[in-house]
Structure 1
Amino acid sequence: MDSHSILQVLLSSAAATTVMTLCSYAVSAAAREIYKEPILLAYILKQLHLNISSDAKNMLGWVLHYVIGLAFVTAYHLLWSHKILDATILSSIMLGAASGMLGIIGWIVLFKIVHQKPNIDYKGYYAQLFAVHVIFGVTAFLVYRLFL
């Protein structure tokens, strides 16, 4: 990847992950549930009894959240730049939906490996997770196309 593409992916990823996170926080507030991915990641890390401070686990939750977003947008970039998919709003919706399904599977696995699960509405969490990933995909596309 050249420097232009790296910047394109980094900015698209940062914007998409931030917008997605803001949407998750809004849904959390409206539903009075903990649907905040970085907080849930920190919770999982705490349950794994890693030998790092609580603050480090919280920070690591945020870092992991943004790194996962970067991985998704890097995959989108590869699909778009190699012309496997056209960079369109429709493909971004499809990629967001696919990312949402992968996210749901990932969270199901994470929740299964910890002994004490968070007290959340799982169906509600997975529904909002799918929706915010579609928003993630569209946001990634809208920022990505600014560089085309």
Structure 2
Amino acid sequence: MNFHAFLQILISSIAATSVMTLFSYAVSASVRELYKEPVLLTYILTRFHIEVSLKTKRVLAWILHYIIGTFFVIIYHYLWLYDVVEFSWQIALLFGAISGIIGILGWMILFKIIPQKPNIDFKGYYTQLFIAHVIFGLVAFLVYKTFL
């Protein structure tokens, strides 16, 4: 991978993850529910009894959130690079939807394996999470496209 592709992936993933997170925070505030992925990741890390300070868990949660976003964009990059799929906004929507399903399944597994579930509206959380990932796919596509 050359430096241009590295920057393309990095900036696209940071932008897409940031916009997705802003959406989640906005929905969380508007419906007065905890739908904030970094906060929920901190909760998960706490329930796994990771022996670090709460501040460190918060930082780790944010880092993990952005690493996962980068992982998704790396997959998009290679699918576009090798012409596995068309480079279009329609495919970006599909990528976002697939990422949303993967994200929902991942959270379901995490919530299943921790002993104490957070007190949240899970149906509402998964619905907003799916929409947030569709937004993620579109933003990743738009930012990625600016580097072509």
TM-score, length of structure 1 as denominator length: 0.99
> Offset at 1:86?
1.4
Q: Which residue of 2 aligns with 1:27?
A: 27
CA distance in 2, matches of 1:129, 1:92: 16
Identity of aligned residues (%): 57
Q: Which residue of 1 aligns with 2:129?
A: 129
Q: Which residue of 2 aligns with 1:37?
A: 37
Partner of 1:85, secondary structure, is coil
CA distance in 1, matches of 2:125, 2:51: 28
| Equivalent AA in structure 2 for residue 101 of structure 1 | I
> Offset at 1:15?
0.1
> Offset at 1:58?
0.7
Q: Which residue of 1 aligns with 2:57?
A: 57
| Equivalent AA in structure 1 for residue 9 of structure 2 | V
- Within 5 Å, give how 1:114-125 maps onto structure 2: 114-125=114-125
Asked if 1:101 is matched to 2:101, the reply is yes
In the comparison of the two structures, how many residue pairs are matched?
Answer: 148
* Structure 1 stretches lacking a partner, 5+ long: none
| Equivalent AA in structure 1 for residue 105 of structure 2 | I
TM-score, length of structure 2 as denominator length: 0.99
> Offset at 1:128?
0.3
**What value does the CA root-mean-square deviation take over the aligned residues?**
0.4
| Equivalent AA in structure 1 for residue 25 of structure 2 | Y
Asked if 1:71 is matched to 2:58, the reply is no
* Structure 2 stretches lacking a partner, 5+ long: none
